[in-house]
């Protein structure tokens, strides 16, 4: 029995928050949010060729894979219960040009991967990005004319690319290039091509962030990028603008919303979920992953605990799921438990 002091008793009265925290069983009983394998979307990087898995230095534990290896990885992910993958291609430099024309090749790397994965592992969801950055020689997400990333021409192209992606087997199109009007245009194009069941997960609030650094290494756009993406991504200072931008996507027919990056933008996750009630996802991006990995490698934090804590924070902030490079680690951990 603890010695009570008159002073604390007078202040707390009968109110003691610690009663519910006193044992493992009470803590489990009152736990408000839980992370499960069903919350995970695993982003993977693709390279041309066969039989190759290559590490990405700025993202320890993350690899680029050829399509055959991606199929094996997809099988493993499905066996662990991961609901969906998000694929990002690192294509040959010779195939990149001013307009990102390879995005309109029926059998480009991302479409070959979708077809192969859906054939071998039909019950894992495939989510594909239609932004042009993996395909452009300047690393921008849209078509560059003079000094401008032109909006409407880019929207037309990404809508056409979305149809090829759906033809190849993509289940959800996830446009990340933040052009105005893209959700409506993609919805129309998909419907006109008979893809009524292909969904759209809008990268509704994509911020102009420094946290994307390692991703640009992963798909080799870092050295290419001229200038920055401030004329199309959202200023990190703006929350209300982000909600307005998401509202347009909802109006235009988005089935799901995404917030990107994740942890620095939990307020946006909460605001979108409150405002629209759509399935809402956070993208724990490459820089967030790299920071945790680097600190853990130095012994400065417990990497596994920080991983779980950050992912749970997304759930608490109202997210239905998380795109995370930790997906396989988490799924394996949960499977062992």
For residue 112 the two structure tokens come to: 């070959």
Residues in 145-184 at the binding interface with ligand PBG, rule: CB under 6 A = 176-177
For ligand PBG, which is the closer residue by CB, 225 or 247?
A: 225
3 state DSSP class of 85: strand
For ligand PBG, which is the closer residue by CB, 3 or 130?
A: 130
Residues in 14-33 at the binding interface with ligand PBG, rule: CB under 6 A = none
From residue 275 to residue 304, what is the string marking binding to ligand PBG with x (rule CB under 6 A)? ----------xx------------------
The CB-of-23 to ligand PBG minimum distance in angstroms stands at 39
Q: Is 69 designated active site? A: no
131 is a site residue for ligand PBG (CB under 6 A) = yes
- Residue 235 is given by DSSP the state P
Catalytic residue among 69, 206, 293, 315: 206
Of 268, 271, 266, 274, the C-alpha closest to 309 is: 266
- Judged on CB neighbours under 10 Å (0-12, 13-18, 19+), 298 is exposed
Q: Is 22 designated active site? A: no
Element (H, E) at 255: none
Rounded Cα distance, 17 and 11, in Å: 13
Residues in 204-223 at the binding interface with ligand PBG, rule: CB under 6 A = 212, 215-216
The CB-of-130 to ligand PBG minimum distance in angstroms stands at 9
Q: What is the DSSP string of 14-57?
A: T--GGGGGSSHHHHHHH------GGGEEEEEEE-SSSS-EEE-T
Residues in 89-128 at the binding interface with ligand PBG, rule: CB under 6 A = none
75 is a site residue for ligand PBG (CB under 6 A) = no
Cβ neighbours of residue 306 closer than 8 Å, sequence gap 6 or more: 292, 295, 296
45 is a site residue for ligand PBG (CB under 6 A) = no
Interface residues toward ligand PBG, by CB under 6 A: 129, 131, 133, 141, 176-177, 212, 215-216, 229, 285-286
Which residues are annotated as catalytic? Answer: 206, 260
């Amino acid at each position: 029995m603890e010695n009570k002091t008159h002073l604390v008793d007078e202040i707390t009265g009968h109110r003691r928050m610690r009663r519910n925290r006193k044992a493992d069983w009470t803590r489990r009983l009152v736990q408000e949010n839980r992370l499960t394998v069903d919350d995970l979307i695993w982003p993977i990087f693709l390279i041309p060729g066969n039989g190759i898995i290559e590490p990405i230095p700025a993202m320890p534990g993350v690899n680029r894979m050829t399509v055959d290896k991606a199929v094996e990885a997809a099988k493993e992910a499905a066996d662990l219960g991961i609901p969906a993958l998000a694929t990002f291609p690192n294509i040959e430099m010779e195939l990149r040009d001013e307009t990102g024309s390879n995005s309109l090749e029926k059998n480009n790397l991302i479409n070959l991967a979708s077809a192969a994965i859906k054939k071998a592992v039909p019950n894992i969801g495939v989510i594909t990005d239609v932004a042009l950055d993996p395909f452009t020689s300047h690393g921008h997400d849209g078509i560059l004319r003079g000094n401008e990333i032109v909006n409407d021409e880019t929207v037309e192209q990404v809508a056409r690319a979305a149809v090829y992606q759906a033809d190849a087997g993509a289940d959800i199109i996830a446009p990340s290039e933040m052009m105005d009007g893209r959700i409506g245009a993609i919805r129309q194009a998909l419907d006109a091509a008979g893809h009524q069941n292909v969904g759209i997960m809008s990268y509704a609030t994509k911020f102009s962030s420094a946290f994307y650094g390692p991703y640009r290494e992963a798909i080799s756009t870092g050295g290419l990028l001229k200038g920055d993406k401030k004329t199309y991504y959202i200023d990190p200072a703006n929350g209300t603008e982000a909600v307005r931008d998401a509202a347009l996507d909802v109006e235009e027919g988005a089935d799901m919303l995404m917030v990107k990056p994740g942890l620095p933008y939990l307020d946006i996750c909460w605001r979108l979920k409150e405002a629209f009630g759509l399935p809402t996802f956070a993208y724990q991006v490459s820089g967030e992953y790299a920071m945790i990995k680097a600190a853990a490698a130095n012994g400065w934090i417990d990497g596994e605990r920080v991983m779980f804590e950050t992912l749970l924070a997304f759930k608490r902030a109202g997210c239905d799921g998380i795109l995370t490079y930790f997906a396989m680690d988490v799924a394996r951990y949960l499977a062992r438990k």
